[in-house]
Structure 1
């Protein structure tokens, strides 16, 4: 059974409940002072605690997407790497697997759409990474055969797994439902984690003498996807949305590269990159580069970009609430002064930094983004 499957979680929960019940039932029989009785009590207690911790751990991993497989958990992920071809004619998107979209009704791509697992090669950044691409039903319908579609890059937090965007936050299912209800135009979703140079958390920065993550997302990925799929190539055709670290990446890449993304949504975003053991030195000791990746600093010191931004937070339960309101107020002031930046916000009364909160925000965020992207 897979690490993130429902069956493994259910099995762990059942085992924990049964062992707990067995401990209660057998405890009187193990009440003696002999070695056997003592070892029996110790064994029952340890067994119960281990199964309870395993059940909670597996449930938390399934909910938050920390690890995608047993090999990933034990540091033995051995899926072969992707060779990057740097010639002009190389195919930079390679489909390795197709999946049905988990929606009600027919599983036909013309009705449900399709999810493709792909390897994306970046000749400029020299990064190669895996992604899942959701193609809406319209992509396979004859009347749309000559049409190009808008696209949205969807990013997890750190560490995160791409699977969590499908199973946890349900982006394809939500986009399918919104388009079916006429609340969102059919949109191609490119779902990834921002960790394209694992295990390092690069915060979507072009690290001096290190991974060129920002270049991968803003140049290589867009070009590769637009060449392989019927997706527009201009900034007005592309949006980016993410949660936590992915939210920071989304906002930053639109603000720093308005020629790549015209729309960005940050769900519970950070507003500057942290420097810790997972990131290392992201800026090569450059104070200038660090400032330029600080979103609040950019609003004060850089020309406002012609982009539409959405940020979310909660009045109670989110640590970024005050920073979010500062960001919103600065952007509003720029807009009132005639600058081209546009800002929207989604503030919940309560909500933590977790999947439950983001699931409440994803439908409105996708509907907002879909109304601002162009298919032409």
Structure 2
């Protein structure tokens, strides 16, 4: 049974309730002052509290998908790598290898032309040297004859740290929401490239090119778009590409859009922060390079670099988010020809429930700023 399955949650809750009932039933028999009775009471209390704690933790993970699997929880991978052979005719230099496919969680049957398809892929960065797994959502239109000669806009979608790419599919429901927006006539079909910003796990690189370390910014700004554009029907101009994410992924999205307007025409940060974190999870990102540290401060960058014709979307809440003041500062510092938009909820915390309320509007906003060639 998977970590996020309803069965695991039901078993844990049932055991907790059952042990609580057993504790109530046995308590009179353990009222004596003997060592055995005291040990029995202590054991029952500890066991009951442990199961209640496990149940609450599983319920929280079921709602917010902090961990997508048992392997993710214990910090290890269970799947062995698959060797993929390439010939010169198959385009081995493309940098994207399809390793599987998923059916999107949307009604309409199983045909890709009706519901789309989610490809599980491995992306190899020829410049950065980074390899990362990802999911590529292809909308139904991608498989329909009427769109056979059309390229599609693409959006890089990033999780927070230390989230998994599966969270974007299961917890935040990006493919399902994207298709609902298209069916409602409020967005155009777009390809979603979904992955985590943690391309050198367990280190949080904050989408920075680290001296002597992972070249994460280069991977996202150069390797990933080029590899995807060579593999799928995606344009290779800035107007064809957007990037969005939540939390750490939101910071990365805004950073990539701000520093790489030649690659991304639009970027959206949901509950983003605006300055690279520096803590035990990141290690030494800048190695004393003050210029690199300042560049990773988005508010500083807005004040000190020439603005480009980029579009930014930022989100926060009047109550429940800690980034409201910084978000307002970001909005105030964006200068023409750049444009900035915002979503500010009355209340909402730093969690999946809040982001699910913002994603439909964010996808519609993104759709309105990208074009298909």
For residues 44-79 of structure 1, what are the alpha-carbon distances to aligned partners after superposition, in whole Å with 9 as ceiling and x for unaligned?
A: 111111111111222223333333322232233244
- Residue 70 (structure 2) aligns with: 70
- Residue 190 (structure 1) aligns with: 193
Q: Tell me, what secondary structure is at the counterpart of 1:90?
A: helix
Q: CA deviation at 1:81?
A: 5.4
For residues 267-293 of structure 1, what are the alpha-carbon distances to aligned partners after superposition, in whole Å with 9 as ceiling and x for unaligned?
A: 010101011100111112111111111
- Residue 302 (str. 1) matches residue 305 (str. 2): yes
Q: TM-score, normalised by structure 1?
A: 0.94
- Residue 273 (str. 1) matches residue 276 (str. 2): yes
For residues 321-365 of structure 1, what are the alpha-carbon distances to aligned partners after superposition, in whole Å with 9 as ceiling and x for unaligned?
A: 00101111121xx2xxxx210000111111111111111111110
- Residue 29 (str. 1) matches residue 29 (str. 2): yes
Q: Whole-Å Cα distance in 1 between the matches of residues 213 and 52 of structure 2? A: 41
Q: Whole-Å Cα distance in 2 between the matches of residues 75 and 165 of structure 1? A: 19
- Residue 372 (structure 1) aligns with: 369
Q: CA deviation at 1:89?
A: 4.4
Q: Whole-Å Cα distance in 1 between the matches of residues 22 and 116 of structure 2? A: 48
Q: Whole-Å Cα distance in 2 between the matches of residues 274 and 120 of structure 1? A: 26
- Residue 256 (structure 2) aligns with: 253
Q: Whole-Å Cα distance in 2 between the matches of residues 204 and 374 of structure 1? A: 26
Residue correspondence of structure 1 range 149-164 to structure 2 within 5 A: 149-164=152-167
Aligned residues: 369
Q: CA deviation at 1:83?
A: 8.2
Q: Whole-Å Cα distance in 1 between the matches of residues 369 and 159 of structure 2? A: 22
For residues 140-170 of structure 1, what are the alpha-carbon distances to aligned partners after superposition, in whole Å with 9 as ceiling and x for unaligned?
A: 1111111111110000011111111111111
- Residue 118 (str. 1) matches residue 121 (str. 2): yes
Change (3 A) 1:151 1:290: same
**Where in structure 2 are there 5+ consecutive unaligned residues?**
none
- Residue 95 (str. 1) matches residue 95 (str. 2): no
- Residue 350 (structure 1) aligns with: 347
- Residue 134 (structure 2) aligns with: 131
- Residue 362 (str. 1) matches residue 365 (str. 2): no
Q: Whole-Å Cα distance in 2 between the matches of residues 158 and 89 of structure 1? A: 31
Q: Whole-Å Cα distance in 1 between the matches of residues 18 and 364 of structure 2? A: 45
- Residue 38 (structure 2) aligns with: 38
Give the stretch that moved more between structures: 200-209 or 139-148: 139-148
- Residue 236 (str. 1) matches residue 239 (str. 2): yes
Q: Tell me, what secondary structure is at the counterpart of 1:200?
A: coil
For residues 6-43 of structure 1, what are the alpha-carbon distances to aligned partners after superposition, in whole Å with 9 as ceiling and x for unaligned?
A: 22122212222222222223322322223332222222
Q: Whole-Å Cα distance in 1 between the matches of residues 321 and 153 of structure 2? A: 31
Q: Whole-Å Cα distance in 2 between the matches of residues 13 and 147 of structure 1? A: 51
**Where in structure 1 are there 5+ consecutive unaligned residues?**
none
Q: Whole-Å Cα distance in 1 between the matches of residues 14 and 194 of structure 2? A: 33
Select the residue among 169, 173, 177 that pairs with 2:172: 169
Select the residue among 172, 176, 179 that pairs with 2:182: 179
Q: Whole-Å Cα distance in 2 between the matches of residues 236 and 91 of structure 1? A: 22
Q: Whole-Å Cα distance in 2 between the matches of residues 372 and 18 of structure 1? A: 55
- Residue 57 (structure 2) aligns with: 57
Change (3 A) 1:321 1:83: farther
Q: Whole-Å Cα distance in 1 between the matches of residues 209 and 314 of structure 2? A: 23
Give the stretch that moved more between structures: 240-249 or 14-23: 14-23
